[in-house]
Amino acid sequence: MKIHDVVGNLIGAGEFILGADATGSHACYLIYGVLKPGEKGRLLKPGAGHEEIVLAMNGDILLHGESMFVLGKGQAIHLQGEESLRAENAGNTDIIYVIAGGHGGGGHAH
């Protein structure tokens, strides 16, 4: 068993993916992301054969898709396959989010 320094591997904004390279498993992965103040357009999209749960850890993430809505602190959404949203931070502090993902009912498709 190994402890992974998820937060320590991300410097600044962006995402760190804890996945198969580190764990040796293709069954699941974890993404730790930071949206900087004013950042727009971060794509949230699991991709074919995958599903993800996106959790806002702090602040409000504006999500743009067919409509616009806010994902507040402690709230989560579930995305499947090619479903996609664009994330935006309209606030003045960093917003942290976590994505838990894995293979959907369609199995592994890369």
Is there a domain that residue 24 lies in?
yes
Report the amino acid identity of residue 21.
D
**CATH code (residue 54):** 2.60.120.10
What is the signed CA dihedral for 77, 80, 82, 85, rounded to 10 degrees? Answer: 0
**Which tokens hold the place of 93?**
């502090």
Grade residue 10 by pLDDT with cuts at 50, 70 and 90. confident
**Sheet hosting strand 42-44, strand order edge to edge:** 42-44, 85-88, 61-64, 68-71
Tell me the two tokens of residue 16. 């760190």
Which helix H or strand E contains 20, and what residues bound it?
helix 20-23
In which domain, by residue range, is 40 found?
7-103
pTM of the model: 0.88
Residue 87 lies in a domain: yes
Residue 45 lies in a domain: yes
Q: Which two tokens stand for residue 108?
A: 């592994």
Question: Taking residues 2-26, what's their average pLDDT?
Answer: 88
Count of beta carbons in the 10 Å neighbourhood of residue 85: 21
Q: How many domains does the chain have?
A: 1
| Helices and strands in the chain: count of H runs, count of E runs | 1, 9
pLDDT tens digits for 23-81?
Answer: 988 899 999 999 999 999 999 999 999 999 999 999 999 999 999 999 999 999 999 99
DSSP assignment of 54-67 equals EEE-SS-EEEESSS
Structure tokens at 106: 């369609």
